Structure formats: C-alpha cells, structure tokens
Amino acid sequence: QDAPVIAVDGPSGAGKGTISHLLADRLGWHFLDSGALYRVTGQACLIEGVSWDDHPAVTEVARHLDVSFTYAESGEVLVAYKGADVSAVIRTEEGGRGASTVAAIPAVRDALLARQREFCRPPGLVADGRDMGTVVFPAADLKFFLTASAEERAERRFKQLISKGESVSLPRLLEDIQERDARDSTRSVSPLVPAEDAIVIDSTTTTIEQVFDQVMLEVARKG
C-alpha cells in the first residue's frame, strides 16, 4: 500500500457511494468505485457477445478491460468502455445484475485485483465496494461497513430511479436487493462481510448527513 486508504464497504443502497464521494472530496483523495469495474465487465460482455455464464471468456474480458474514469467538473463521473460512454447503462438494474453475476466468478475478481490496487496513490484513496477492507486493501487505515435494512435500501433506490425517469416497481426492487444481498454474501470468494476491524454504521433511521458526520469524527480521531 503506497498511500493511506479508507475502505467503505457494504450492500448496495446503504449510502456508500454518497459517503465515499463526500469523503474523497473533503480529504482531496483519489476515489475507487470498485462496483463500476464489475458493472463495466458485465456490460463489456454484452458488447462483446460473451455470455455471463462463460467463465473463461468473462475472465478474458475482465483481464483486458479497456475502461476509463473521467471526472467532470460537475462532480459527475463518466465511465467509458473502449472510449464509449457507458455511465448510464451500467447503473440500470440490468447492469447491477450483470455486475453481481460476473463478480461471483473467482478468476474475474482476481483479474480485477491489481487494477483496483493501482488506484492507491498519494495523497490517499477512498475505496468503495464490498471487499475493500477484507481483500483488496486489508491494511487499510480505516474501515467502514455501512448498512441499512433491505426495505430502506429498496425505498432509496426506488426514489433514485424514479428521479432518473426509469419505471420501476418497489416490490420488484426489494426482491432484486434481497436476491443480490444473498448472492453477494453467500458466494465463496470475497463474500460481503464486515472486516473484523471495521466500524459498522447502520443508516436505516439516520440521514446521510448524520452518517457523514460520524465518519468524519472517526477520521479526525484517527488523525
């Protein structure tokens, strides 16, 4: 590890993305959205005509993944595959399913390991994912595990998708979240579990601002 790392792990919809972006901004550190790498891998398979079930072919796609992240002044992150913008399509429910399907393949996780570690550069890195504190950056200086009830996370996701103009059903979203949670936490490699030394924050009944305050308090305490 060449620079300090703060790992932010947890299930989808627990506020990880928002919290880690705010944190990276506040500290002036680099930011790794590891979920985006899995999402792009799933999308790249669709583009290349590779089935998500064809593990050796998916692994090849992950190994040679031509992905780039561009940070727009608006704070928006543009994700491109082979130079073409895939930012919107990878954020759909289908994109999430693809990501979690390819993420369950051990060789794919291996292929993306070195690439994730390359993000660790001075002055520091905020890494957002599922296994940042357990596998990718086990020596992270500070580890957070953000969580919230599945119902609350489905509700948040519902509002987010509606505001983007996607038509979705809340019960279907809840089902998707529960399915994805089950798949992510029972897979044999890098299951979604808090690191032993992680600070667990449950945001079911708190606002994002309250969670961020709590996170900043821990960062200050760490010095």
Specify binding-site residues for ATP: 10-18
CB closer to ligand C5P out of 4 and 129: 129
CB closer to ligand C5P out of 50 and 190: 190
Sign, Cα dihedral of 9, 15, 17, 19: negative
Taking a C-beta distance cutoff of 8 angstroms, is the pair 61, 48 a contact?
Answer: yes
Answer yes or no whether residue 20 interacts with ligand C5P by CB under 6 A. Answer: no
124 Ramachandran zone, left/alpha/beta (phi>0; psi -120 to 50): left
CB closer to ligand C5P out of 20 and 215: 20
CB closer to ligand C5P out of 153 and 215: 153
CA distance 150 to 178: 7
Q: Cis omega (within 30 of 0) on the bond before 123? A: yes
Taking a C-beta distance cutoff of 8 angstroms, is the pair 110, 189 a contact?
Answer: no
Q: Tell me which stretch binds ligand C5P (CB under 6 A): 73-81, 128-136, 150-158, 199-207.
A: 128-136
Q: Tell me which stretch binds ligand C5P (CB under 6 A): 70-78, 99-107, 197-205, 207-215.
A: 99-107
Answer yes or no whether residue 39 interacts with ligand C5P by CB under 6 A. Answer: yes
Answer yes or no whether residue 129 interacts with ligand C5P by CB under 6 A. Answer: yes
The count of C-alpha atoms lying within 13 angstroms of the C-alpha of 173, restricted to the half-sphere facing its C-beta, is: 21
Q: Tell me which stretch binds ligand C5P (CB under 6 A): 60-68, 97-105, 118-126, 206-214.
A: 97-105
Answer yes or no whether residue 130 interacts with ligand C5P by CB under 6 A. Answer: yes
Answer yes or no whether residue 100 interacts with ligand C5P by CB under 6 A. Answer: yes
Binding-site ranges for ligand C5P (CB under 6 A): 12, 34-35, 38-39, 96, 99-100, 103, 129-131, 180, 184
